[in-house]
Amino acid sequence: MKNATWDSYQLFLGVARGGGLTGAASASGLSPATIGRRMLDLEQQLGRTLFLRSQTGYSLTGDGQALFDRLLDMESAARSIDSWQREASGRPVVRIAAGTWVGWLMSQNMPAICSERDDFRIDLYLAERRASLAHRESDIGLRAFEPEEANLAAIKAGEVAYAAYRARNLRAAGPERWIAVSEDEAISAYLRWPHQNRQAEIALTVNRPRSLYDLVLAGSGIAVLPCFVGDLEPRLERAGEEITALRHFQWIVMNNEDRHRREIRTVIDRMARLLKSHADLFAGKRPTY
């Protein structure tokens, strides 16, 4: 029987980290059905059951966790070789992992992070799942909590507030219609809030947080958004007060051993300035239009 390939192991890591096939499919470009088959093939090749499969997703078995732990070292080594190879070309890469909406704001302000004068490039990875840096999956991450890992350092970058939003001047005459990310994709607290508090009023679900913004703008209903997204859009208005239970600090997180590398330090300083310049907006202090 042929040995499993590194490509199969990378897919396994994606499924394990995401708790299912959807996230791995988004990252790899393969369909969930294809990845599901690949995981069955991997289990057959290894002669071990790696996942417990259920309607709510994939969870690791004991053998699956053992493989996951071993692959982290392989992944770290592969990334180290990749970085070493890029350094030979004279243009290092700074990998940033951020959530959907902070990534959205950074994308709109990317010249403040990386310009044509810089001798490095940015690799921006956007996902709701927490940024993982312990094995150098990324160089810099944005998190909603202070890291507990001993090898990570962090900079507190202010508070983030949330509220429900609707399209301005499009109040429905009938019952409120809520828009939410589907429960199996509702990883963050603000994504779970509609399911926990407005379940009976949810009229539409989507699989990506970014779609909430577009659907609210189109007048499709009400959705919970970060205030720095909703308040920045003059075509939206708050449908009620801030949801204070969702307020949290955000942190710029980096690996202790790498944070003094020139290009990483440069990007961290620029990100900190960008977030500080938007601190009032992040904290829910509305701008004047």
Helix, strand, or coil (residue 126): strand
d(CA 181, CA 196): 12
Q: What percent of the chain has pLDDT over 70?
A: 89
d(CA 191, CA 210): 11
State the pLDDT at residue 129.
66
For residues 24 and 11, the answer to whether their CB atoms sit within 8 Å is yes
* CATH architecture of the domain formed by 91-160+248-282: 3-Layer(aba) Sandwich (3.40)
What are the DSSP E strand ranges found in 84-151? 93-98, 121-126, 140-143
Is-same-fold flag (91-160+248-282; 162-246)?
Answer: yes
d(CA 41, CA 229): 43
When pLDDT is averaged across residues 246-251 and rounded to a whole number, the result is 95
Q: At 136, is the pLDDT very low, low, confident or very high (cuts 50, 70, 90)?
A: low
Q: At 10, is the pLDDT very low, low, confident or very high (cuts 50, 70, 90)?
A: confident
d(CA 49, CA 119): 46
Q: Where are the domains of the chain?
A: 6-72, 91-160+248-282, 162-246
DSSP string covering 154-190: EEEEEEE-EEEEEETT---SSS--EEEE-GGG--SHH
- Fold of the CATH domain 6-72: Arc Repressor Mutant, subunit A (1.10.10)
Per-residue pLDDT tens digits for 169-183: 776 656 789 999 998
Q: Which phi and psi (to 5°) does residue 10 adopt?
A: -65, -40
pTM: 0.68
Q: Dihedral of CA 9/14/16/17: which sign?
A: positive
For residues 255 and 135, the answer to whether their CB atoms sit within 8 Å is no
Name which of 217, 79, 187, 181 is nearest 127 in CA terms.
187
When pLDDT is averaged across residues 257-286 and rounded to a whole number, the result is 91
Q: How far is CA 176 from the centre of its chain?
A: 29
State the pLDDT at residue 261.
85
State the pLDDT at residue 167.
94
State the pLDDT at residue 227.
96
When pLDDT is averaged across residues 13-42 and rounded to a whole number, the result is 86
Assign domain 162-246 one CATH number from 3.40.50.1820, 3.40.47.10, 3.40.190.10, 3.20.190.10: 3.40.190.10
Q: At 56, is the pLDDT very low, low, confident or very high (cuts 50, 70, 90)?
A: confident
Name which of 18, 12, 289, 264 is nearest 132 in CA terms.
18
Q: Dihedral of CA 96/99/100/103: which sign?
A: negative
State the pLDDT at residue 255.
83
Per-residue pLDDT tens digits for 114-134: 988 888 889 888 877 655 555
Enter the tokens of residue 227. Answer: 């205030």
